Amino acid sequence: MNIIYSLAGLLLSLSFTCNQASEFPQVSQLPDSLENQKREKTGTANIVFRSADNGQTWQDISDGLPEPVKDDNGGGRKAFFADDNGLWLTEGNGIYHSKPNFTSPFWTKAFIPDERNNITPGKDGIFAYNSLSGILQKTIGTSVWSPVFTDFKEKRVRGVLETTGGVIYITSDKGLFKSRDRGETWKTIPAGGLGGKIVESNGVLLTTGPRGIMRSTDDGENWFWVIKEGGVGIDVAQIKGGFAAITYSSASKTRRVRTSYDGGKTWQPIDAGLPAQLSISSIIQVGENFFCGHPTGIFRSSDMGKTWKLLLPSIEGKVFNLSVSGNVIYAIPRNAGC
């Protein structure tokens, strides 16, 4: 799945409460003695959780990570994504990697010349960038990070996407830019509202925007709103046979969760079984199950969103953001709205 993780301040910082299930599973499947040893050794815990059994049990795999670096907005870790090789996330001037089958220590670190607080996958390796300087890419199978797209002069880069067809998109404060020749030349896409998270599947592009979700079927040349309820688009993700999206409705003052199985043209709500919420953060699919993260914890639906069950309660009032590698689910608690 190709994704842009935006640093734009599009998400609303909203809080909410919801009904909790009467029974909660263990937060970690590790023995208490091992948990205590980890905390004494590294001082880090409750940073990243992993489940390999459809969310029934969760393991704290924070051992080996530094304490989160706080930014000006009080946030911690900047960006993360999971692919076939496991989980990647940034912290300061390091990119940390955990393979799905890692045991303690869970993490390896790749150093890069300066702080790159965003990452996204590419066909030829991971892109690393921040909002002030250029873009680096790690060559697959090596530890080498090299500058790419050096002719792209716009600052405030917010996201990078490489589609399966090799088209490069960069979002910035000045809009969306597109290249068909690996960054030799760039075209500005004149579409208001672009600059959020973008996903691609079967020739369809979807993006979050300040008024909901937008769609393009012509390589980003033209964009049209497909979900617009007076609020910001929170998240969009590829699922089996379609897409899932989270948006904010100004009418109901809640975040809504929907799915589409016709390339993003029409959408069906799947949140009737969830209490009305203001800060639902992410939606993923693993096998036939949906998983949803928000401040109450992680919910799972095994019937396409008709009913939901709370699996893992929240940590310190934060919101779980989710990603998946194969059948391994990763959950990172972050401040609401991040």
pLDDT 10s digits, 209-244:
888 999 999 998 999 999 998 889 999 999 999 999
Half-sphere exposure in the Cβ direction for 71 (13 Å, CA): 15
pLDDT tops 70 at residue 81: yes
Pick 233 or 67 by higher pLDDT: 233
With beta carbons less than 8 A apart as the criterion, state whether 40 and 205 touch: no
Q: What is the mean pLDDT of residues 19-35?
A: 32
Q: What are phi and psi of 264, to 5 degrees?
A: 85, 10
**Residue 226 pairs with which residues in a beta bridge?**
none
Q: What pLDDT score was predicted for residue 195?
A: 61
With beta carbons less than 8 A apart as the criterion, state whether 102 and 91 touch: no
Percentage of the chain surpassing pLDDT 90? 44
Task: Tell which residue, 329, 183, 204, 220, has the closest CA to residue 260.
Answer: 204
Task: Tell which residue, 79, 177, 184, has the closest CA to residue 128.
Answer: 79
| Superfamily of segment(s) 2-334 | YVTN repeat-like/Quinoprotein amine dehydrogenase (2.130.10.10)
Say which range, 110-119, 248-257, 267-276, has the weakest mean pLDDT: 110-119
Q: Rounded to whole angstroms, how far apart are CA atoms 296 and 52?
A: 21
pLDDT tops 80 at residue 190: no
Q: pLDDT band at 14, cuts 50/70/90?
A: very low
With beta carbons less than 8 A apart as the criterion, state whether 24 and 313 touch: yes
In what helix (H) or strand (E) does residue 95 lie, and over which residues does it extend?
Answer: strand 94-98
pLDDT tops 50 at residue 24: no
Domain ranges of the chain: 2-334
With beta carbons less than 8 A apart as the criterion, state whether 292 and 326 touch: no
Between strands 242-249 and 254-260, the pairing is antiparallel
Which tens digit of pLDDT belongs to each residue from 280-294?
999 999 999 999 998
Q: What are phi and psi of 34, to 5 degrees?
A: -70, -40
Per-position DSSP letters for 276-322, written without gaps between them:
P-S---EEEEETTEEEEEETTEEEEESSTTSS-EEEEE-STTPEEEE
Half-sphere exposure in the Cβ direction for 60 (13 Å, CA): 24
Q: Where are the beta strands (DSSP E) in 118-262?
A: 118-120, 127-129, 135-138, 145-148, 157-162, 168-172, 175-179, 187-189, 198-201, 204-209, 212-216, 224-228, 233-239, 242-249, 254-260
In what helix (H) or strand (E) does residue 334 lie, and over which residues does it extend?
Answer: strand 328-334
